[in-house]
Amino acid sequence: MQHAAGLEELGREIAAASAFLDRAEEQIASRIIGQKEVIRRVFIALLAGGHILLEGVPGLAKTLIVRTFAAAMDLRFQRIQFTPDMLPADLVGTMVYNPKDMEFHPRQGPVFANVILADEINRSPAKVQSALLEAMQEKQVTIGSSTFPLPQPFMVLATQNPIEHEGTYLLPEAQVDRFMMKVMVDYPSYDEELEIMQHAAASGDMPEVRAVVRAGDIAAARRLIDRIYVDPRVQRYIVDLVFATRKPAGYGLASLESMIEYGASPRASIFLLLAAKAHAFLQHRAYITPEDVKSVAYETLRHRIIPGYEAEAENVRTDDFIREILQHVQVP
């Protein structure tokens, strides 16, 4: 009874603390038509302290979504266009000589913001990608002999163009694994595109987005998410899903043994749990359910499963593996 009462009280706290998300969604919806699932995933990653890899063809408003999200959440936004001639110093900063005192001083780069849009991250060489991924992992940057913490919250949304690979540098699997989610940005529906066209024809001006989030709202939300209850059976369900990507035969999926070359890493279990807790918070709940886990499974697992030659030959995608796994792994 005491545990149930504690969850009920936590639920009331979460309902009150998560109200700012509804206000932020209203502001974003005033400018962005559709793409509700993409926006919801951005909220989840921010609340869970993770980063997102966005993939979609040009023209789907990826930059506008991120910029609008940052404006509504009152977060400092920085867009960085990754190019083949880019250097790590262009990202993190460098030492600048001051002739007045004849000394070098650190100058911080554009990575010192709350929300970073790493546009076309795969167009920059490996050393630049590594500099960004190190900042994502360590939450700090070293310039010369000085180390600077990055502002909090800190979130990277990196974009990739799936249809153009000339002049790009493929992100290694070990680096991709550091992104909490890989979110696919799809075309709008017929009605959504009609509305987009009508809005663009009626006025060239974008609706103004107000900042509706206070400085401490995100930090308070993260503290509450840490307290969300996770039943041991749900914990085992998460681990079962991840293990099914490594040893599918043990879960009645022998047909996937030759299809999957490498399964998901332990980061997948951690990020599945964190993302599921953030998803429960968005639903104003004090506990997570298997449905929360399923809701974030595709985005959390799709970039962590490496298909084998047979899968590539038969054009089987990682999303197909995840669908099979979710259907076969027993739900508690």
303-313 pLDDT, tens per residue? 998 888 888 88
Average pLDDT across the chain, whole number:
86
Averaged pLDDT, 180-199: 89
User: Is pTM beyond 0.85 here?
Assistant: yes
As a whole number of angstroms, the distance between CA 71 and CA 150 comes to 19
Could you report the per-residue pLDDT of 209-240, keeping only the tens digit for each?
Answer: 888 888 788 989 999 999 999 999 999 999 99
Averaged pLDDT, 167-174: 65
Could you report the per-residue pLDDT of 235-244, keeping only the tens digit for each?
Answer: 999 999 999 9
Residue 37 above 60 pLDDT? Answer: yes
Domains and CATH numbers, the chain: 2-202 (3.40.50.300), 229-328 (1.10.8.80)
Residue 246 φ/ψ, nearest 5 degrees = -95, -40
Supply the pLDDT for residue 1.
36
β-pairing, 306-307 vs 260-262, is antiparallel
DSSP-derived 3-state class of residue 321: helix
Residue 277 above 90 pLDDT? Answer: yes
- Alpha carbon of residue 40 to chain centroid: 10
Q: Which of 328, 326, 330 is nearest to 298 (CA)?
A: 326
As a whole number of angstroms, the distance between CA 144 and CA 123 comes to 26
Supply the pLDDT for residue 3.
67
Burial of 104 (0-12, 13-18, 19+ CB in 10 A): middle
Token couple for 314: 């038969």
Higher pLDDT, 143 or 80: 80
Q: Are 179 and 51 in contact (CB under 8 A)?
A: yes
Supply the pLDDT for residue 88.
87
Averaged pLDDT, 22-42: 89
Supply the pLDDT for residue 170.
67
Supply the pLDDT for residue 204.
64
Averaged pLDDT, 59-72: 88
Averaged pLDDT, 14-21: 86
Q: Which of 270, 258, 266, 271 is nearest to 307 (CA)?
A: 258
Residue 290 above 80 pLDDT? Answer: yes
Q: Supply the DSSP symbol for 300.
A: H
Could you report the per-residue pLDDT of 102-131, keeping only the tens digit for each?
Answer: 777 788 889 999 999 998 888 887 888 888
Could you tell me the sign of the dihedral formed by the alpha carbons of 62, 66, 67, 69, in that order? Answer: positive
Q: Are 182 and 302 in contact (CB under 8 A)?
A: yes
Q: Using pLDDT thresholds of 50, 70 and 90, give the confidence band for residue 86.
A: confident
Q: Which of 114, 95, 94 is nearest to 104 (CA)?
A: 95
